[in-house]
Amino acid sequence: MSNQPKQAFWKKSVVVLSLLLIFVALPDTLEDFALGEPAKNGAPAPVLAGVIAGLFALQGLGLFFLGSNQRRGYFIHLGIGLFWPLAAGAAQLPVILTFQSYRSGFISLHYVFGMIILGILLFVASIQALRTASAVEK
């Protein structure tokens, strides 16, 4: 089988996973700010808001690069796919694992586990996309 269909599959996978990750990361982030989580953890909200806005902008830039058939879009998504699961896991899993009720219940858990799972899948899909893109270029 040619690598061209594989490359198209992995590219579409990265795009879909990226959009799904935005779908869970954005509401989770808004929930964090609505509940005052940055202040509880001693992080200045304006600085954290700027960093998170930058991450979403970077993710959008990665999607733009993928639409322009540029490999750097995969590298951006590789980093995004690594960042969100680590950030969500480090910040929220310790609270979740205390077995207390977590924020808004199921929907809040959905956001956190969605970020972790989708981020890992995005990371793996980006690696696979880079591998198949390299094979097509050879």
What does the pLDDT look like over 17-43, one tens digit per residue?
999 999 999 988 888 788 777 777 788
pTM: 0.86
pLDDT computed for residue 99 by the predictor: 64
Compute the C-alpha angle 115/7/64, nearest 5°.
60
Q: Tell me the angle at which helices 72-96 and 3-34 cross, rounded to the nearest 10 degrees.
A: 40
104: confidence class by pLDDT, cuts 50, 70, 90: low
Token pair of 77, please?
């998504």
> Does 126 or 6 have the greater pLDDT score?
126
**Where do we find the tokens 């310790």?**
94
Token pair of 63, please?
């999607």
Domain that holds residue 133: 3-137
Of 25, 24, 8, the closest CA to residue 125 belongs to: 8
Average pLDDT of the chain? 86
Q: Span 40-57, mean pLDDT?
A: 88
User: H helices within the chain, ranges in order?
Assistant: 3-34, 37-40, 45-67, 72-96, 106-137
Residues in contact with 77: Cβ distance below 8 Å, sequence separation at least 6, in sequence order: 14, 17, 18, 59, 62, 66, 122, 123, 125, 126
Whether 1 has a pLDDT exceeding 60, the answer reads: no
Of 28, 3, 4, the closest CA to residue 108 belongs to: 28
DSSP type of residue 100: S
Domain count, the chain: 1
pLDDT computed for residue 40 by the predictor: 79
Q: Span 3-16, mean pLDDT?
A: 90
> Does 36 or 46 have the greater pLDDT score?
46
Whether 70 has a pLDDT exceeding 90, the answer reads: yes
CB 83 within 8 A of CB 58: no
Whether 8 has a pLDDT exceeding 80, the answer reads: yes
